[in-house]
Amino acid sequence: MTENLPAATRFARQRVRHRFTAREAVVTAVTSPGGPFIRVTLSGPELHDFVSDGPADHARLFFPHPLTGELVAPAPVGPDADGIVRPEAPMFPRDFTPLNMRTDPDTGLRAFDVDFLQHPEPGPASAWAAAAEAGDKLVVVGPRGSATAPQGADSLLLIVDPSALPAATRWIASVPARTEVEVVVDASPADLDWIEPYLHEHGGRAVTVTEAFGSLADAATDAGIDDGTFLFAAGEATRLIPLRRLVKYEYGLPREQFALSGYWKRGMVNFDHHAPIDPDDPED
């Protein structure tokens, strides 16, 4: 147990910067990892120095124009250089969690997976994934850096909606076996039938999975947060506002003890997850 450690030590996360550039990636496989997800495997020579060490990492994927099929995307400044050159033409980027970073044993090339959640009204990314075939190309930008999962937390509380389930699997796999993990899912009860096995299979261990009742602040209160709990929450930005206010003002948790990220915002296309979750209190 870590009750005598200060929060900065207990919840310490190693932070590393990566070379920030644009890399071409090629689809090598399209599979089904469970539920309404499509898994696309990306690889290619330009991924040789692609790194993603943190469970909250994101890479920005640039997709072809949904009507013309033209891929307009940033380009690298130069070989081994840091930075990108952005084109003037419109682009179609979306942020995703890189999964299963590895070296392909057959080709010797770096590869990773991306899980695309399918929607009743698909956007450019999910529509592209539904039609993706081996040989299709994307451009990948980032991640700029990684922050590892805290290794000293007694428990990990994940409050996520389906868009953040891929990240949740990385969190589950990144904490020590002694860390108790609970996942509260902001979804319908019927969705738990596929969410629990998805988390188990891709997180690498069985965890407690429950449905969020009421607001996400209510869900956090029901789950319980003590001095040894690290909280990660992600999903629809406005749903996260009461939770952020709870942990920051009512609980007074130290900043090291939680991480919240708005992955999307209802009514807004291509929401920037770097934007403040709470417009009335933008200070992070």
Residues 160-186 pLDDT 10s: 999 999 999 999 999 999 999 999 999
Residue after which a domain boundary falls, among 91, 114, 142: 142
Enclosing domain of residue 77: 19-142
pLDDT confidence of residue 94: 94
177 and 212 share a domain? Answer: yes
User: What global pTM score does this model have?
Assistant: 0.93
Going by C-beta distance under 8 Å and a sequence separation of 6 or more, which residues neighbour residue 123? Answer: 94, 269
Judgement on whether residues 157 and 131 belong to the same structural domain of the protein: no
In this predicted structure, the answer to whether residue 100 has a pLDDT above a threshold of 60 is yes
* pLDDT higher than threshold 60 for residue 1: no
On whether residue 78 sits in a domain, the answer given is yes
* Residue 65 and residue 82 in one domain: yes
Spatial separation of the C-alpha atoms in residues 116 and 118, rounded to whole Å: 6
* pLDDT above 80 (res 272): no
In a domain, 260, yes or no: yes
Confidence at residue 277, expressed as pLDDT on a 0 to 100 scale:
73
How high is the pLDDT of residue 268?
72
Percent residues over pLDDT 90 in the chain: 83
Domain for residue 269, yes or no? no
Residue-wise pLDDT tens digits, 42-59: 999 999 999 999 999 999
Same domain flag for 100 and 174: no
Q: Does residue 11 lie in a domain region?
A: no
CA dihedral 117→123→126→128, nearest 10 degrees, is: 180
Average of per-residue pLDDT values in the chain: 93
Are 166 and 91 part of one and the same domain? Answer: no
Total domains, the chain:
2
Q: Which pLDDT score, from 0 to 100, does residue 78 have?
A: 84
pLDDT at res. 168: 98
Residues 136 and 244 in one domain: no
From the number of C-beta atoms within 10 Å of its C-beta (0-12, 13-18, 19+), residue 10 rates as buried
CATH label of the domain that carries residue 256: 3.40.50.80
Higher pLDDT, 35 or 2: 35
Residues 238 and 172 in one domain: yes
Residue 6 lies in a domain: no
Residue 201 phi, psi (nearest 5): -65, -45
- Residue 18's pLDDT band (cuts 50, 70, 90): very high
Q: Could you read off the pLDDT of 181-215 as tens digits, one per residue? A: 999 999 999 999 999 999 999 999 999 999 999 99
Q: Report the pLDDT value the prediction gives residue 269, as an integer from 0 to 100.
A: 74
The CATH code of the domain that includes 81 is: 2.40.30.10
Q: Is 2 within a domain?
A: no
Query: Do residues 23 and 76 make contact, with C-beta atoms less than 8 angstroms apart?
Result: yes
